[in-house]
Chains A and B, each alone.
Chain A
């Protein structure tokens, strides 16, 4: 299929349609309102459902209800809106329903700002709502990857009957890049044969979609069941990318999303100065590539590890956990909508190595 130049926000909407997900519920919020502005006319064209809800609280619960039908459903929002969905996300995880959430992150806390940030990492990967649960979290670093991961997100959500969250910063949503969509659109899934969707109790026992277990034994059982599921997810769904990782690297940078691309440019330019630096980019933030991060960071040539984020330091806590004190870890972050530039990353690397410019 021919390449199209598209804004990340619109491409994400189109990707969902490719994945056969034609049911979208949303509430406007910058910097991702273009998704709704695109899907409000595009979904009707393909026979889909578009609902502008009265709030993100309603969106979360519309998704809860819609997902129980067994059809593919999704929403997109940005940080404050995602916060309002946390209650529903907890219920959806507890009831084991497949829903795809997209968070085009802006700076917080509170109303914060509308420019790009990565400060919702904790909320996404540590379960932002109450209870023992996890989301599968994917972080694209280009518009094309946003499309690819969006399609994957629906497959993973269905496969594990678990909510999946795609997180990108405002830049991923606003930037236009060339994208290619799969030739063929998936057909919307048919829940008829499903062993969990609510399709009407004809010729079968009635089904209940719920998360209430008043008997502690049963609640524990459900939580253990979820925990088992997360173990399987950890085994199967780790994704990452390495860039210029060689046995010459003195420093290994850890970054995800747009931040990783900025680090790539810094790495290319440092290479010209004769400073060898590699990049490890987690693509799945949950499950986190723990083992690979440990292996790559503790190679003999790696003197130090640098974590770069558009936040004051969130993913770094997971990196620390992975490295178990085996390497010195340094951090560089900007936030509030200020994005670290390649020059700032280069300066940080030089400073870590004691190299004068």
Chain B
């Protein structure tokens, strides 16, 4: 990566968007990059939507308030409506097609549909949807290396049940594969 990337993870509370953002931030920090993780906090949390912004940069990070992020991973429709239009031209938009049946309608951003819930269920843990999304995002951007991400993943989430870790890693691998196929140009 070069320069600075900002990515928003947004969805319902409980979809793991905050955790996905934190994992990315931890990994980028371990790779020696400057990072900031900025949560949405406030009354809207009660309403059930949550989002966080992760800024990863090679330089000192200025504003933690991002007008127009370079990327967004949206887990539900309200998040698509809110962040879809904010992404910078040339940016990247990952849409959870398990729950969202529309696209952003923009032709100046790269769009990738990832059925993260379906993939997570297939892998054996419905709660791993956020990991599928994160894997797909990292595969699309190379923002951090997969080895580092997987290491962080084992470190932060692996302390629990071992079977669960395997299942989560499977979900993770599927997210990555889907994105890499897309990147290579071939639709699965």
Direct touching of A and B (C-beta under 8 Å) = yes
Chain A positions near chain B (C-beta within 8 angstroms): 3, 5, 30-31, 113-115, 170-171, 174-178, 258, 261-262, 264-266, 268, 337, 339, 341-343
Chain B positions near chain A (C-beta within 8 angstroms): 22, 25-26, 29, 34-39, 41-43, 61-65, 67
Is B35 a contact partner of A177 (Cβ separation < 8 A)?
Answer: yes
Is A175 a contact partner of B42 (Cβ separation < 8 A)?
Answer: no
Q: A5-B35, A171-B38 are in contact. Are A178 and B65 (CB under 8 A)?
A: no
- 28 pairs of residues in contact across A and B, judged by CB atoms under 8 Å: A3-B29, A5-B25, A5-B29, A5-B35, A113-B42, A114-B42, A170-B41, A171-B38, A171-B64, A171-B65, A174-B38, A175-B36, A175-B38, A176-B22, A176-B36, A177-B61, A261-B63, A261-B64, A262-B64, A264-B62, A264-B63, A265-B63, A266-B63, A268-B62, A337-B42, A341-B65, A342-B63, A342-B67
Separation in Å of the B185 CB from the closest CB of chain A?
Answer: 33
Is B65 a contact partner of A262 (Cβ separation < 8 A)?
Answer: yes
Q: Which residue of A has the minimal Cβ distance to B53?
A: A175
Q: Which residue of B has the minimal Cβ distance to A179?
A: B29
**Which single member of A3, A114, A176, A341 contacts B63 (CB below 8 Å)?**
A341
Q: A3-B29, A115-B42 are in contact. Are A343 and B64 (CB under 8 A)?
A: no
**Cα of A337 to Cα of B29 in the assembled complex, Å:** 29
Is B35 a contact partner of A261 (Cβ separation < 8 A)?
Answer: no
Separation in Å of the B155 CB from the closest CB of chain A?
Answer: 12
Is B62 a contact partner of A262 (Cβ separation < 8 A)?
Answer: yes
Q: A170-B41, A174-B41 are in contact. Are A5 and B64 (CB under 8 A)?
A: no
**Cα of A265 to Cα of B64 in the assembled complex, Å:** 9
CB contacts (< 8 Å) of B43 on chain A: these are 114
Separation in Å of the B177 CB from the closest CB of chain A?
Answer: 28
Separation in Å of the B160 CB from the closest CB of chain A?
Answer: 20
